[in-house]
């Protein structure tokens, strides 16, 4: 269990540490939880210090956006892109008013998290 559901408000991010792994949690536009490594792959800034923009989270350092799959969202006309950096994604599920994260290898069946 990573966090009680009530602690994850829409349009806000929360930085947590689970088994020494820094994780940022936020809700996408559908209000589903998203869990990414809490480090921008560009300059290692904490993504939890940024802001939520729709389905994406914006790094506070240079303003790069990362989607729920951890990929950089390339904006047209923006030339200072960090390249193809990705943030690690953690499988996450919300059940019984709790948010659960899988830290292991591979992606488990969502029914077993």
Give the pair of three-digit tokens for residue 24: 């940022």
Give the pair of three-digit tokens for residue 98: 């709790």
Task: Supply the pLDDT for residue 105.
Answer: 73
CATH of the domain at 36: 2.102.10.10
Q: How many CB atoms lie within 10 A of CB 22?
A: 15
Give CA–CA dist 8/20, Å, rounded.
20
Q: Identify whether 96 is part of a domain.
A: yes
Give CA–CA dist 44/99, Å, rounded.
25
Q: Identify whether 78 is part of a domain.
A: yes
Domain that holds residue 39: 3-108
Successive 10-residue mean pLDDT values, the chain, 113 residues: 95 95 97 96 89 95 91 68 77 96 72 49
Q: Identify whether 113 is part of a domain.
A: no
pTM of the model: 0.85
Task: Supply the pLDDT for residue 73.
Answer: 86
> For the chain, what is the domain count?
1
Task: Supply the pLDDT for residue 113.
Answer: 47
């Amino acid at each position: 269990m990573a966090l009680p559901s009530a602690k994850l408000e829409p349009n806000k991010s929360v930085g947590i540490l689970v088994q020494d792994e820094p994780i940022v949690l936020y809700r996408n536009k559908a209000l589903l939880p998203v869990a990414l490594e809490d480090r921008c792959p560009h300059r290692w800034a904490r993504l939890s210090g940024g802001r939520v923009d729709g389905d994406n989270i914006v790094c506070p350092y240079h303003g790069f956006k990362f989607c729920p799959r951890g990929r950089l969202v390339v904006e047209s006309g923006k030339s200072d892109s960090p390249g193809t950096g990705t943030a690690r994604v953690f499988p996450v599920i919300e059940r019984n008013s709790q948010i659960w994260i899988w830290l292991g290898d591979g992606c488990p069946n969502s029914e077993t998290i």
